[in-house]
């Protein structure tokens, strides 16, 4: 890959989607048809879901069993995370072995313990001499308002997600961390809609950048290629979309909401070589994908968190600006996949159902 790409090359090639193939799994992104590829097309990445049959909740693991350099960026004001401090570039650990995304609010952070058990059984982890300690950062979303809040993902759920993990195309919609995800909650849950988890990937000159995201935003979701709302808050009769920001500008009052009752969480991954500083920058840039598709986003009600992984499997040195731009594009596409793949449940219709 040419590491001397100009800004014009990036804008023409990466942003305008000229010169690379785009793949968005299972569902369409705008007018681009799915080819069934996903974040698992990034070499060194596996994905596994656990979905609880008792109520809509679950967890999703992104495995990097051979290790991946990682960064993280938290933009929401109400995050629930684990092991994010060690991803600070000044800190010692250089690689992670998995990232866990989970429902269940803060209770769901226990799923990472299950992933650690799975990895330890296979001798995978940071070598501290007397043991190998698996490094498993995690982030959670709030889905306790959908079904029985006493049912939430635990360490066993995390372990089972790992056992289910593979490099095959992962399921989307009402599965894993997206099982209990909802969107359009600014005017209360009675006017919200069902969301889910989605994935996408972009290929360019021998590298792959992918994304996976569980979309549980307080805001609405828009297709940036048309500027049209896809799903979000509904009118009081529940029969049509209201467009939350337009409703606010018209003077519709917001009901009181509790901080932390939303949150969009995801991972971007690339098979290039990145340092922790570079991976952190890619995670930051990937949030632009949320900003293009979710409005409002990064609110006091959200704990929006994105991790970035670099497996190095292509052995290519990265143009960080290009990788970050592609990561943002992949994230935007994954958000739309998550919403379009979701299926409605009682009281919460999905996109295309109203």
pLDDT profile of the chain (354 residues), mean per 10: 37 34 34 62 98 96 98 94 96 96 98 98 96 98 96 98 97 97 95 97 95 97 96 95 94 78 95 97 98 96 96 94 97 97 96 89
CB-based burial, 172-210: b 16+ in 10 Å, e otherwise: bbbbbbbbbbbbbbbbeeebbbbbbbbbbbbbbeebbbb
Alpha carbon 285 to its chain's center = 14
> Which candidate, 174, 168, 139, 173, places its Cα nearest to that of 38?
168
Instruction: Give pLDDT, residue 260.
Output: 62
Instruction: Give pLDDT, residue 17.
Output: 34
Instruction: Give pLDDT, residue 120.
Output: 98
Note if the pTM is more than 0.75. Answer: yes
What six digits make up the tokens of 146? 């959908």
Instruction: Give pLDDT, residue 273.
Output: 97
For the chain, the domains span 7-341
| Type and span of the H or E element at 336 | helix 320-341
Query: What is the Cα gyration radius of the chain?
Result: 19
What whole-number distance in Å separates Cα of residue 221 and Cα of residue 295?
7
Instruction: Give pLDDT, residue 76.
Output: 85
What six digits make up the tokens of 282? 């890619």
What whole-number distance in Å separates Cα of residue 99 and Cα of residue 134?
11
What whole-number distance in Å separates Cα of residue 135 and Cα of residue 125?
6
| Overall fold of domain 7-341 | 3.60.70
Instruction: Give pLDDT, residue 295.
Output: 97
């Amino acid at each position: 890959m040419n590491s001397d790409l100009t800004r014009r090359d990036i804008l023409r090639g990466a942003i305008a989607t000229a010169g690379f193939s785009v793949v968005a799994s299972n569902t369409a992104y705008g007018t681009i048809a799915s080819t069934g590829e996903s974040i698992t097309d990034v070499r060194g990445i596996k994905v596994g879901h656990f979905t609880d049959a008792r109520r809509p909740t679950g967890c999703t693991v992104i495995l990097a069993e051979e290790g991946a350099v990682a960064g993280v960026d938290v933009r929401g004001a109400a995050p629930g995370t684990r092991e994010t401090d060690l991803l600070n570039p000044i800190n010692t650990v250089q690689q992670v072995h998995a990232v866990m995304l989970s429902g269940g609010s803060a209770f769901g952070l226990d799923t990472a313990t299950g992933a650690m058990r799975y990895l330890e059984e296979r001798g995978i982890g940071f070598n501290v001499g007397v043991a190998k300690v698996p490094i498993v950062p995690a982030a959670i979303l709030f889905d306790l308002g959908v079904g029985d809040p006493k049912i939430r993902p635990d360490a066993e759920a995390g372990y089972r997600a790992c056992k289910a993990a593979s490099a095959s195309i992962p399921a989307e919609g009402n599965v894993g961390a997206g099982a209990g995800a909802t969107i359009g909650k600014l005017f209360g849950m009675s006017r919200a809609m069902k969301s889910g988890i989605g994935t996408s990937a972009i290929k360019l000159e021998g590298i792959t950048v992918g994304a996976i995201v569980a979309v549980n935003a307080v805001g609405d979701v828009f297709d940036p290629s048309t500027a049209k709302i896809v799903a979000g808050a509904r009118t009081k009769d529940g029969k049509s979309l209201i467009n939350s920001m337009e409703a606010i500008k018209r003077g519709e009052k917001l009901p009181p909401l509790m901080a932390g009752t939303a949150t969009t969480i995801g991972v971007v991954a690339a098979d290039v070589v990145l340092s922790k500083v570079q991976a952190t920058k890619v995670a930051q840039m990937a949030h632009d994908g949320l900003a293009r598709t979710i409005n409002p986003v990064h609110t006091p009600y959200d704990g929006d968190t994105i991790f970035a992984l670099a497996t190095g499997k292509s052995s290519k040195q990265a143009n960080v600006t290009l990788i970050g731009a592609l990561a943002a594009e992949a994230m935007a596409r994954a958000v739309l996949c998550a919403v379009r793949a979701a299926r409605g449940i009682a009281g919460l219709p999905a996109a295309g159902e109203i």
